[in-house]
Amino acid sequence: MRQRAVEQDMYIRRTNFDAVEENLTPEQVKTEASRCLNCKNPRCVQGCPVNIQIPDFIKALKEDNLEKAGEIIRETSMLPSVCGRVCPQERQCEGNCVLGIKGEAIAIGALERYVGDNTSAKTPEIIPTGKKVAIIGSGCAGITAASDLRKAGHDVTVFEALHKFGGVLRYGIPPFRLPRKVLDREIDNLKAMGVKFEKNVIVGKSITLNQLKEDGFDAIFICSGAGLPKMMNIPGENLNGVFSANEFLTRVNLMQANEDSTPTPLKVGKSVAVIGGGNVAMDAARTAVRVGFETVYIVYRRTEAELPARLEEIRHAKEEGVKFIFLHAPIEILENKGYVDGMKFEIMELGEPDESGRRSPMGTGRFKNIDIDTVIVALGTGPNPIIQKSANDDGIEFETDRRGYFVVNEETRETNIPAIFAGGDVAPVGASNAINAMGAGKKAAKAINDFLSK
């Protein structure tokens, strides 16, 4: 039987930002590892974007060799404690586990998290190459690329626009899902390897790409994330009480806007509607519960079967009292003296599948008002054009697609500009999540290393 970690009581965790789950116990780890069939053709590895040798690290756990398990994971991933917590395992490694066909897949994420939390990264011997690499952004793609490039001997500097490192891992993912000590430990491991970090640097404003080149950087990897929120474009969207999920989560996670001592307090109302159905919507809704909203709705225009969020996040949200409203599409945010005073929705029904394979929602001509005083829009983000605009002003014309994302070679992450690479959410391939961003960082690091070795 699949082993499960102890979780905080659902009523208690509503009131704090502490981690919801504990680690498995050593006995549970041994029991869970013993379930692995050690397949000759490990589908779980194929389902991992960074190809962690999953059966090998689980075999080490079976043999009570925890340090070896850590070494195996870190051959391809520098963020086991992070990925073990936030990756969508049910659609990747665990989703490909043979045991999951007729029963329950191995709890690969929980095992990876245990290994990450209980082993330390060893600082490798660095043989300097004399080459310098600038990495713009300290999220998953940037951290992964920094690790691989530093191991290759290059002088690596990571530039972060915010005042703390970690990118979306810090400002977007709440600490009840990813404790800050875990993230800090992973970044400290990179610092111990000699990776340099510069904060409060907005490339395109504080410094340009041309200036980085003038400072001697031989290659540049742009992985600054997609921080431009997508809104609904409906009446009332500019009212007081309307937030993008990006702003809401950043204010709470990074600026502690929910605390009394903060200089930038968050106005907490009675009821909030979170628009969207992905992991960010779940994070925003569960954060809204914790900061004190009495009623929290997630409003989604399809049915529960189409929710793209992780099943675990959906379950946790329900346990914590979040109310789900399906087949409702936003039409208008109602106003009272400049503030949100309700929201109008059209009731939908599902039609034929769209390009993604999900059934398309269709309007029925029937409408419903919901009594709320706050709206959080969690419909995704797009690329912030600061870097592209600054580069264009300097005579560097990047090729971008119609949405503003960098056009790159999928395997090498090369842009159309020599020595400049891009990956993660500014040049997405596949779903936008931590492990895919790490995969992009690894591909970029390999290509940069090949480029610098010529």
Element (H, E) at 52: none
Q: pLDDT-based confidence at 431, cuts 50/70/90?
A: low
Q: pLDDT-based confidence at 383, cuts 50/70/90?
A: confident
Strand-pair category, 339-353 with 132-136: unpaired
Q: Return the pLDDT at 442.
A: 93
Percent of the chain with pLDDT over 90: 83
Q: Tell me if 132-227+383-452 shares its fold with 228-381.
A: yes
Q: Is the pLDDT of residue 113 over 90?
A: yes
User: Between 1.20.1250.20, 3.40.50.970, 1.10.150.120, 1.10.1060.10, what CATH number should domain 10-118 receive?
Assistant: 1.10.1060.10
For 123-156, how does the pLDDT look when each residue is reduced to its tens digit (9 = 90+)? 889 999 999 999 999 999 999 999 999 999 999 9
Q: pLDDT-based confidence at 238, cuts 50/70/90?
A: very high
Identify the CATH number of the domain defined by range 228-381. 3.50.50.60
Q: pLDDT-based confidence at 428, cuts 50/70/90?
A: confident
For 11-60, how does the pLDDT look when each residue is reduced to its tens digit (9 = 90+)? 999 999 999 999 999 999 999 999 999 999 999 999 998 899 999 999 99
CB 395 within 8 A of CB 260: no
Q: Is the pLDDT of residue 430 over 80?
A: no
pLDDT, average across residues 305-332: 96
pLDDT, average across residues 86-101: 93
Per-residue exposure over 149-172, b if at least 16 CB sit within 10 Å of its own CB, e if not: bbbbbbbbbbbbbbebbbbbbbbb
Q: Is the pLDDT of residue 273 over 90?
A: yes
Specify the 3-state DSSP secondary structure of 73: helix
List the domain boundaries for the chain.
10-118, 132-227+383-452, 228-381
Q: Is the pLDDT of residue 226 over 90?
A: no
For 184-223, how does the pLDDT look when each residue is reduced to its tens digit (9 = 90+)? 998 999 999 999 999 999 999 999 999 999 999 999 999 9
What's the mean per-residue pLDDT of the chain? 94
Strand-pair category, 271-275 with 242-244: unpaired
Q: Return the pLDDT at 210.
A: 95
Q: Which of 341-345, 385-389, 421-425 has the highest mean pLDDT?
A: 341-345
Residue 184: phi, psi to the nearest 5? -60, -40
User: Residue 357's Cα: distance from chain center in Å?
Assistant: 23
pLDDT, average across residues 84-104: 93
Which two structure tokens, joined as six digits, stand for 75?
């051959």
Q: Return the pLDDT at 217.
A: 98
pLDDT, average across residues 431-443: 85
For 250-358, strand residue ranges (E) read: 271-275, 295-300, 323-326, 328-336, 339-353
Q: In the Cβ-directed half-sphere of 234, how many Cα atoms lie within 13 Å?
A: 16
Q: Which residues 6+ apart lie within 8 Å of 195 measured at CB?
A: 146, 147, 150, 156, 157, 158
Q: pLDDT-based confidence at 264, cuts 50/70/90?
A: confident
For 371-382, how does the pLDDT look when each residue is reduced to its tens digit (9 = 90+)? 999 999 999 988
Count of CB atoms situated within 10 Å of the CB of 188: 12
DSSP secondary structure letter of residue 189: H
Q: Return the pLDDT at 355.
A: 78
Distance CA 9, CA 11 (A): 6
Architecture of domain 132-227+383-452: 3-Layer(bba) Sandwich (3.50)
Residue 220: phi, psi to the nearest 5? -130, 135
Q: Is the pLDDT of residue 450 over 80?
A: yes
pLDDT, average across residues 1-17: 95
